[in-house]
Amino acid sequence: MTPVRPKFELKPGKATREAFGKALAELGRENPDVVVCDADLSKSTFTALFAKEFPERFFSCGIAEANMVSIGAGLASAGKTAFVSSFSAFVLNKGFEQLRVTVAYPRVNLKIVGTHSGISIGEDGPSQMSVEDLSLACSLAGFVVLSPADEVATEALVRAAAAYDGPVFLRCGRVKAPLIYSPGETFSIGGSRELIGGSEITIAATGLLVAEAIRAAETLEAEGVSARVLDLYSIKPLDQEAIVRAARETGAIVVAEEHLVDSGLGVRVAQAVARTHPCVMEFVGIQDTYAESGTPEELLDKYGLVARDVAAACRRALTRKRGAGLQ
């Protein structure tokens, strides 16, 4: 029987890139060792907020992400709390060698923030759509990888990243994200949040897809299905305990992300499930393709990243679960 629960209210919110810029400026006021590098995109990444207040601690590196990463690594090695920022597609792809050699290998205390992630960047097209960034960042040994769902989580995770001793990649988006959390809520590296309780299936989502997971759970509830919703904002390290509990208690997991399904959050969750408590799984994400140019809403709909698609994946998983005689 589906438990009675209050309706989860999604409110309009700001883009996570904007929340990042606001949090960064606040950090700058509190800590004179915070320094910021940007690759000629400060108005888009919102590091311009920091630059306006602290021009002596802001370094515009031009359209040169690889150099920017090396400069940031040098500043971090000198004891600064250093942030570097650009579009995810640029900082991860153009700067990958430097991220590997000058940041990951020596485990430099650098914070890398990629904005305009996923395909929801919209009309700018596939050359600027980052659909591989989670995979690339997770492949770097010693990296922490974070993907907040809304502005509250973003601001909290910027602070968590700054306090952490080691390299961190924070994934932000261009479009406004629905407000899920209340101001002042806390988020820890390696954690997750259970937003909706459920007993028959778990939807594990990250970033923009958390809101779609909530909407999908409400659709399923109307059909008599009890769906749990997890916000896996910490991609690396994962909240293994929450994943194992979901596998054991619900027997089916759907992973939803704005990333290639072949290499993102779904792969990491599947690894955890395979090691601990195998269960039925389905995956919602970008299916081995690059997207076209279009509005964010058109693209998310066309490439199967909305609540309708999450709910459909849940129905497939439930059919498989019941076919296998699992409860």
Which 3 state secondary structure label does DSSP give 241? helix
Separation of CA 87 from chain center: 14
8 A C-beta contact, residue 46 and residue 21? yes
Of these residues, 18, 65, 132, 221, which one is catalytic?
65
Half-sphere exposure of 98 (CA within 13 A, CB side): 20
In the β-sheet with 58-60, what is the strand arrangement from edge to edge?
A: 58-60, 34-38, 81-87, 110-115, 168-171, 144-146, 234-236
Which 3 state secondary structure label does DSSP give 221? helix
Measured CA to CA, the distance from residue 14 to residue 77 in angstroms comes to 33
Give the residue from 101, 86, 100 showing the smallest Cα distance to 44.
86
Establish whether 258 is a catalytic residue.
no
Measured CA to CA, the distance from residue 187 to residue 239 in angstroms comes to 12
Q: Which residues are catalytic?
A: 65
